[in-house]
Amino acid sequence: MTNAETVNLLDFDAEGLVAYCGGLGEKPFRAKQLQRWIHQRGATDFEAMTDLAKSLRSKLATRAEISAPAIVSDNISTDGTRKWLVDVGNSNAVETVYIPEETRGTLCISSQAGCAVNCRFCSTGKQGFNRNLSTAEIIGQLWMAEFALRQTRAELPAPASERVITNVVMMGMGEPLLNYDAVLPALRLMLDDNAYGLSRRRVTVSTSGVVPMMDRLGADLPVALAVSLHASNDALRDNLVPLNKKYPLHELMAACQRYLRVAPRDFITFEYCMLDGVNDSDAHARELVALTRDVPCKFNLIPFNPFPESGLLRSKPDRIKHFAQVLMDAGLITTVRKTRGDDIDAACGQLAGAVQDRTRLAQRSRDALSSRVIEVHPV
């Protein structure tokens, strides 16, 4: 457990780590060395950081730690998707999902425990909002997954052994832009050449449309942007995405146009969950064409993953196909997301369906075995 006076170094981006080391009387280059040990080598033992001065290692050993959230469970789907449930304290847990593909490996990261946006089609929203994650808890998911996958890769033959995290999407539990102050340093670490070295094009923030924070992200650190749209008019979106009542579609489209002026990609990705008889008619598709006429974009159609509390059903495959065709006939790039990891509840919209129950069960198990030391390893 973290000592109240112990600093978790995963909380610091490059600037923060320089300031921390400066407070220890150390020069900035020591922060770069330390950052490489943490994020490129996965080191947690300061004594193993052999190019740091012994005096610095001694200071760090008593004042700092490198601590990612503890792993509660680690499941691998039949399609290779891997999902970790990680404990973020006080009976809260979040889920992190790795999706391997032939040419890339994408990690889906959570930014909040629960979510306050409460979209009708998302099981995470039905859990309610518990709290924001810290920078350490956000980047700790990438840190944990990166080094767990490196260990797995070393044990497997090619081509599986060649899979690495090449893309990160902030599409897990929570609304990233409602936890901006913790998300921004984590994004900086993802892009930092002394940490994970990802390009801005390979880091995507997904938002349900928090317009002021979209503008702020564009000014501070424009990465790729995905917008959870899910409706073609305000009346429908008010029902599906309650945030729309605060930031209606005309404001959202204007924010997308502003973001594109600084974005690393020349388009916005619109996520659109396909709901049977709700938002999937040809008329809805034609409304989308008109709505996005002035916003260079691509559509990612997502077959809904049903859960009991939603009262919603997945659109039929033929309906999704016809819907996509209307968009494509209008010149819009359109893809249909392949459902991945649904056998381990890792598909889009399924995160946290039973998180609270699993977390309580894990806590009861820890309490019952409190006299023993239990270590949970990712692989």
SS3 letters for the chain?
Answer: CCCCCCEEHHHCCHHHHHHHHHHCCCCHHHHHHHHHHHHCCCCCCHHHCCCCCHHHHHHHHHHEECCCCEEEEEEECCCCCEEEEEEEECCEEEEEEEEECCCCEEEECCCEEECCCCCCCCHHHHHCEEEECCHHHHHHHHHHHHHHHHHHHHHCCCCHHHCCCCEEEECCCCCHHHHHHHHHHHHHHHHCCCCCCCCHHHEEEEECCCHHHHHHHHHHCCCEEEEECCCCCHHHHHHHCHHHHCCCHHHHHHHHHHHHCCCCCCCEEEEEEEECCCCCCHHHHHHHHHHCCCCCEEEEEEECCCCHHHCCCECCHHHHHHHHHHHHHCCCEEEECCCCCHHHCCCCCCCCCCHHHHHHHHHHHHHHCCCCCCCCCCC
Q: Is the pLDDT of residue 270 over 80?
A: yes
Structure-token pair, residue 292: 């996005």
| Cβ–Cβ under 8 Å, residues 206 and 44 | no
Rounded percentage of the chain residues whose pLDDT exceeds 90: 77
Distance CA 200, CA 225 (A): 10
Given the candidates 3.30.540.10, 3.30.420.10, 3.20.20.70, 3.40.30.10, the CATH classification of the domain at 70-359 is 3.20.20.70
Residue 7's DSSP bridge partners are 64
Q: For CATH 3.20.20.70, list the domain ranges present in the chain.
A: 70-359
Q: What is the pLDDT of residues 313-371, one digit of tens each?
A: 999 999 999 999 999 999 999 999 876 555 545 444 444 444 444 444 344 433 432 32
Q: What is the pLDDT of residues 80-107, one digit of tens each?
A: 899 999 999 888 999 999 999 888 999 9
The whole-number pLDDT of residue 361 equals: 39
Q: Give Cβ neighbours of residue 127 (< 8 Å, ≥ 6 apart).
A: 114, 115, 352, 355, 356
Topology classification of domain 7-65: DNA polymerase; domain 1 (1.10.150)
Q: For CATH 1.10.150.530, list the domain ranges present in the chain.
A: 7-65
Q: What is the pLDDT of residues 165-199, one digit of tens each?
A: 999 999 999 999 999 999 999 999 999 999 999 99
User: Which residue type sits at 188?
Assistant: R
- Active site members: 95, 348
| Cβ–Cβ under 8 Å, residues 199 and 187 | no
The whole-number pLDDT of residue 300 equals: 97
| Cβ–Cβ under 8 Å, residues 30 and 12 | no
Q: Is the pLDDT of residue 157 over 80?
A: no
Structure-token pair, residue 271: 């996520």
Q: Give Cβ neighbours of residue 373 (< 8 Å, ≥ 6 apart).
A: none
Q: Which of 59, 175, 45, 52 lies closest to 110, judged by CA?
A: 175
Please report which confidence band the pLDDT of residue 3 belongs to, taking 50, 70 and 90 as the band edges. low
Handedness of CA 316, 319, 323, 328 (dihedral sign): positive
The whole-number pLDDT of residue 211 equals: 98
